[in-house]
Structures are given as C-alpha cells and as structure tokens.
Chain A
C-alpha cells in the first residue's frame, strides 16, 4: 500500500484551477520526483496535498486512509512532513524553537530532545546558530532548518518543495545524502525540484508537470533518457 496517494486531484486558488487531475503515488522508502517548468503548478500541487490550497476534486489517501477532508494541522499530525519552497521557517523563533515546533504534537519529551540534538549534529551550521532567531539565517541555512523542522515530526512521508534551491553544490550534496538516509529509514519522499537532472537521478519514480497537467510519468532513469523530454523540459542535449 502506498504511504501517500493522490487520486485525480484538481486544485487552485479562489476560482482559478491551477493543477488538474493529478495522480501521484509515493511508496515507503521511495523518492518520487515532480518536475516541470516554472509556474507549472508543482508547488500548488504539494500544497493541495497538505490542505493549504483550495481543492476542487480528487482524493488523498495516507496509508490507505482517506484524509481528503482533514484540516492542514491534522494532515501534519497524521505523518506528513512538509518543507515549503518559500517562508520555510518561523523567522521570530530561535533555531531550536523552530525544531521544537516541528515536534509540536509529539508527547515524548525525551525523544524530542534526542531528535533535536541529532538534527543539530547532522547540520553543524545550525548548531552554531542554535540560539539565534531564524530570520538571521542565510537562505541555505534556512533550508537546512526547514528540513530539520519537518523531520522533528517523525513523518512517514516528507514533501519537499525545491530543497536544493539556495544551496551550494557542497550543501546540496549533503542534503541529497541526507535524503538518501531518510529514504533508507523507510520514509517516503516527494520531491519537487528545479534541478531536474539531480532530482530525476536521485528519484525512483518521476512525474512531469506542465501547465498544471501531468504530461509524463515513469522511472526516474527512463524520464531522463526520454529524448523529447530532455530537449523540451530539461534543457539537456543528447550527449550530456
């Protein structure tokens, strides 16, 4: 059974439909990439899974359970973590408080403490600044903090909206390694990425969105190999 499944989801803002009839499946321990040009509706689609934008139709299943009607905070508590593309931290809270908020609904004080130290060990940049307000962090550091905050909720599936944006190649590599480690723990990952090549290479399965519709889906390597896709959307030449 898929840990997260979107069935024919149509969503948008106000009366405007932005994404139409998108179906996506994420299995436990799998990285699924959603790629597509700017404005194709990738972020809107992720938000529709979280109950942050208006959904017109479609169903969302978490571990087989229908969570379509859940408010956003209950979706989070069910076990869906989210790293937004923008506004991804609590600017007025310290780094440690940001992490604590990620574990807001957990009751195991000891476990929270342990996870918090583990994440600070994982990202030394954050550890150095643990008492600073998040608004003083750089874009890359915020990205790390956002990922850490999402992990604090011990999600079964993690939705990441362009986690590699703002990151130096070195930090991006670190994040990709961390994502691989998260995947090893059996957590499903749904990854929206601008860096299409990196994302599809890391992914087990991929979906290509364009103008709010799913144009193509398939194994990450298969999508990468598709010649027309490479030229039209990835901007890659054949010989690359």
Chain B
C-alpha cells in the first residue's frame, strides 16, 4: 500500500516536470508550427539561474523559481526576435525552423558549458526527506507539484477566460482569420514565447534541484518531453496535461516492472517511447486528437 502510494507520488513528480517543461513547447508549436528544440536549453538555462540564486546565503526556492521564470522567458523572447521571427516572416517552413532551433540550442548549451563549467554541480541545500502519511517526500517535491498545479490551473483559466488566452487559441486554430479579426499576432506570440519558456525555466530549477545541474540537463530530458507533447497531441494543452501524468505513471510503474524482471532501470527512458508508440498506433493524433 505504502509502496503503491509512493509510486503514485513519483509519477506525479515526473509528470509535473514534464508538464512544466512541455507547456511552452506545445503552446508555441500552436502559434509558430515548428517544434522548438531550443527548449532543451531553456530548461538548462533556468536550472543555472536557479543555481545562482540558491547559492546565495539568503536564497530561497520561490525566489529562484521566479528569477528562472523571468530570465528564461527573456532568453526565449530574444531568441524569437533574433532568430525565429525573421525566419517566420520570410515564410520558412518547418524543417529550417526546426534546424535553426537545434542550432540555437547548441549555441546556448556550449556557451553555458564554456562560460560556466562542464562539470556537474549540485544545488545546496540538500532537501531532507520526511514522512507524510504513507509516503516519503521532500519539500522540493511538494513545491514542484504545487508549481505544476498552479501552471495547469492558471493556464486553463488564461486560455478559456481571458482575451489574450482566447487569442492564443484563435491563432493556433486559424492564423489568417486571427489577423483579419484585428489580433496582433506578433504581440500574442511574444507573450506566449515568454510565458512558455518561463515555465520551462522553472522545470529546469526543479529538475536540477532534484538531480544534478549540467549543461546537458535539458537535452537529457528533451526526448521524453517531446514524447509527452506528441502523445498529448502537439499544440493541445489539455492533451499535454493528460500525457505528462500518463507517462509519469508509465515510467514509475515500468521501473518496478524492470526491477522485477531483472532488467536495468536504464531502460526507463525507453518506457516513455513504448507508451508513445502504442498510443499513436491507436490514436495517431495523440490523446486529444
């Protein structure tokens, strides 16, 4: 019983990271129609910003999260202005945009490695685990689950209740009609780039605090995040929420299964893709499609 609850908790933790990291990817895909691989480095960058703040004697996690959000949002805004927007305005298609995002990601990753260090760093302080009912938790995990809940509910309200949020959905559904309805597509895109990458930066802080910080922090989890985004039906926020927690569950139950049959838990990553392929065979457009 306790073990089962622990697995559920672990699934929620994994799913929360995926949700935070995948939100921007799926929202900006809806607007710009290409998968932005630089999200790997947005996650990493957020992790380093968080590290900077948490190293200070008066550093606190909420402060680190907020700083990572804003700094990563700005980084994404700059990369949109300098790299993606000029390409989009020249009507670049999916492949050039995607390759540009991979290139931009490399630049950011290697800049971080060269300017900072390639060695893995650890966040201080180490989070102490304590018993909460049947499960062992750390305050970090509780913060993480809280942040994911906040993001899910907040974005739901944004997308369904506010003019800006409806405009984000409108552009994703019919970009030209949005223009002739007087929606300033550029402004909405700036906002979404900032917001989405901000959440990815937050994912980076939690991921780094929970494991280790290195320039490949984001790159290492980019593929399962893509699996989540595609599983949810790329561009669909609600599909993303479902997919994040579904894959969280699959991975954490899968690990138990792997141990039971005597296989290495290194196969953990493969589980996400197994689920992805199985679901796509039955629902080619993802869960929301």
A101 to B166, CA, bound (A): 8
- Chain B: residues with Cβ within 8 Å of the partner, total of 18
Contact of A92 (CB < 8 Å), options: B172, B180, B181? B172
CB closest chain-A residue, reference B164? A104
Chain A interface: which size bin? 20 to 34
A75 to B163, CA, bound (A): 20
Chain B hits for A156, CB < 8 A? none
State whether A76 touches B180 (Cβ < 8 A): yes
Number of A-B contacts (CB under 8 A): 70
Chain A hits for B183, CB < 8 A? 73, 101, 104-105
Closest CB of chain B to A104's CB: distance in Å? 5
A213 to B145, CA, bound (A): 63
Chain A hits for B167, CB < 8 A? 101, 104
CB 8 Å contact bits of A67-110 with B (1 = contact, 0 = none): 00001111111000010100111111100010011101100000
Contact of A101 (CB < 8 Å), options: B170, B176, B184, B185? B170
A97, A101, A149: residue with the most chain B Cβ atoms closer than 10 Å: A101
A176 at the interface (CB under 8 A from B): no
Closest CB of chain A to B238's CB: distance in Å? 11
Contact of A90 (CB < 8 Å), options: B163, B170, B182, B184? B170
CB closest chain-A residue, reference B176? A52
Chain A hits for B177, CB < 8 A? 84, 87-90
Q: Interface on chain B toward A: helix, strand, loop, or mixed SS? A: helix
State whether A76 touches B179 (Cβ < 8 A): yes
State whether A91 touches B173 (Cβ < 8 A): yes
Closest CB of chain B to A99's CB: distance in Å? 10
Chain B hits for A75, CB < 8 A? 180
CB 8 Å contact bits of A6-21 with B (1 = contact, 0 = none): 0000000000000000
State whether B166 touches A153 (Cβ < 8 A): no
B169 at the interface (CB under 8 A from A): yes
Closest CB of chain A to B167's CB: distance in Å? 7
State whether B180 touches A91 (Cβ < 8 A): no
B128 at the interface (CB under 8 A from A): no
CB 8 Å contact bits of B157-199 with A (1 = contact, 0 = none): 0000001001101101110111111111100000000000000
A190 at the interface (CB under 8 A from B): no
State whether A104 touches B173 (Cβ < 8 A): no
A72 to B176, CA, bound (A): 9
State whether B180 touches A101 (Cβ < 8 A): no
A202 at the interface (CB under 8 A from B): no
A200 at the interface (CB under 8 A from B): no
State whether A72 touches B179 (Cβ < 8 A): yes
Cβ contacts A to B, 19 pairs, < 8 Å:
A52-B176, A73-B181, A73-B185, A76-B182, A77-B182, A87-B177, A89-B174, A89-B177, A90-B169, A92-B172, A92-B173, A93-B166, A93-B170, A101-B170, A101-B181, A101-B183, A102-B181, A104-B167, A153-B182
Interface residues of A (CB under 8 A from B): 50-52, 71-77, 82, 84, 87-93, 97, 100-102, 104-105, 149, 153
3 closest Cβ contacts across the A-B interface? A76-B182, A92-B173, A72-B179
Excluding A82-B180, A101-B166, 14 further A-B contacts by CB distance (< 8 Å) are A52-B179, A73-B180, A73-B182, A73-B184, A73-B185, A74-B182, A76-B182, A89-B174, A90-B177, A93-B169, A93-B173, A101-B170, A102-B181, A104-B182
